């Protein structure tokens, strides 16, 4: 940030060299006849000439290489010289009869380089799931800055809905319906003072992932040999069901065609035994159990699934 200032030394931050000299004028050396009973005011400014006011009236221009001289009545007078950018040098001077009062002013250009009062970092999550709220937040790395900032946000795609925070350092965006897309927050930061150097336009993307479709997963699959052996397999699936309190236990029971299956291990007998064991021994809520008949196989067998909410029901295999 670069500021150029012109001013006089008596104002804070200004540079001025001021020389005031008083001497008695020698009438024999004067090239211009001086009125009687007057003194001389000599005013010089470098590098440029400016209007000279005495007691509120413009009486001429300052000199630049030598002082411009003015004849004034003895006594106190108010001298004013208006320099660059409206800066004014003002001083009470005393004019004496037959004396010269010299005022020399030097205007110095001062260039000040300052760091920007803000350095913004924009943060946002790398990924979110569809339906989540995203918070994009801006942070000023310049500590203790009191410069008021303007925050102008733009979010793409246009279907992304900003739910809060416009005009502030942080916004919240709803990602409903934006699965598979990228939400980009763009921020324009400025302060109406140092915009030419300091204005920032920054952006950050967030990927919105589609929610994964829940799937049923197989807990166990086995041929029924004896019900005591079957119960040990049921126990394992009951434990898994407890770990997934929203899931359903879905059991496909295939009817065997061998002699054992058609006499002792029939679908009707095993389905009743299985349900009784899970409910009365293992304490499983019967509303969470489904036992369906699959089809025929060489031996009666079980295919046991845990089905979370929203997952498709497994289809019996022929």
SS3 312: coil
Alpha carbon 16 to chain centroid distance?
Answer: 44
- The predicted model scores a pTM of 0.47
- Spatial separation of the C-alpha atoms in residues 305 and 315, rounded to whole Å: 11
Choose the weakest-confidence range: 60-69, 79-88, 223-232, 264-273: 79-88
Q: Which CATH class is domain 217-307?
A: alpha beta
Under a CB-based contact definition with an 8 Å cutoff, are residues 305 and 215 in contact? no
Whether 217-307 and 120-209 are alike in CATH topology: the answer is: no
**pLDDT value of residue 13:** 28
- Give me the residue spans of the domains in the chain: 2-112, 120-209, 217-307
Q: Residue 262, by phi and psi: left (phi above 0), alpha (psi -120 to 50) or beta? A: alpha
Just give the CATH number of 120-209: 2.60.40.10
- Spatial separation of the C-alpha atoms in residues 316 and 252, rounded to whole Å: 7
Model pLDDT for residues 21-53, shown as the tens digit of each residue: 333 333 334 456 788 889 999 999 988 899 999
Query: Which two structure tokens, joined as six digits, stand for 1?
Result: 């940030």
């Amino acid at each position: 940030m670069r500021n150029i200032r012109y001013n006089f030394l008596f104002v804070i931050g200004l540079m001025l060299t001021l020389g005031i000299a008083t001497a008695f004028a020698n009438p024999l050396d004067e090239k211009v006849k001086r009125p009687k009973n007057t003194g001389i005011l000599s005013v010089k400014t470098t590098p440029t000439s400016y209007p000279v006011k005495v007691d509120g009236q413009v009486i001429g221009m300052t000199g630049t290489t030598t002082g411009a001289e003015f004849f004034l009545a003895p006594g106190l007078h108010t001298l004013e010289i208006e320099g660059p950018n409206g800066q004014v040098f003002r001083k009470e001077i005393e004019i004496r009869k037959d004396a010269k009062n010299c005022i020399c002013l030097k205007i110095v250009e001062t260039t000040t380089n300052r760091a920007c009062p803000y350095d913004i970092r924009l943060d946002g999550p790398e990924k979110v799931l569809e339906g989540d709220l995203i918070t994009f937040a801006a942070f000023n790395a310049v500590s203790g800055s009191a410069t008021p900032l303007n925050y102008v946000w733009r979010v793409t795609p246009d279907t992304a809905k900003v739910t809060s925070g416009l005009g502030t350092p942080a916004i919240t965006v709803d990602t409903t319906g934006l699965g598979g897309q990228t939400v980009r927050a763009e921020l324009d930061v400025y302060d109406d003072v140092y915009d030419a150097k300091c204005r920032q336009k920054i952006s950050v993307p967030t990927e919105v992932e589609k929610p994964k479709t829940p799937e049923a997963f197989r807990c166990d699959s086995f041929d029924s040999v004896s019900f005591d052996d079957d119960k040990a397999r049921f126990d394992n699936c009951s434990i898994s069901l407890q770990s997934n309190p929203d899931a359903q236990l879905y059991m496909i029971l295939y009817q065997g065609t061998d002699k054992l299956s058609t006499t002792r291990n029939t679908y009707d007998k095993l389905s009743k035994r299985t349900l009784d064991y899970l409910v009365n021994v293992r304490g499983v809520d019967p509303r969470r159990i489904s036992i369906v008949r699959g089809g025929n196989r060489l031996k009666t067998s079980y295919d046991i699934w845990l089905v979370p909410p929203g997952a498709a029901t497994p289809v019996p295999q022929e």
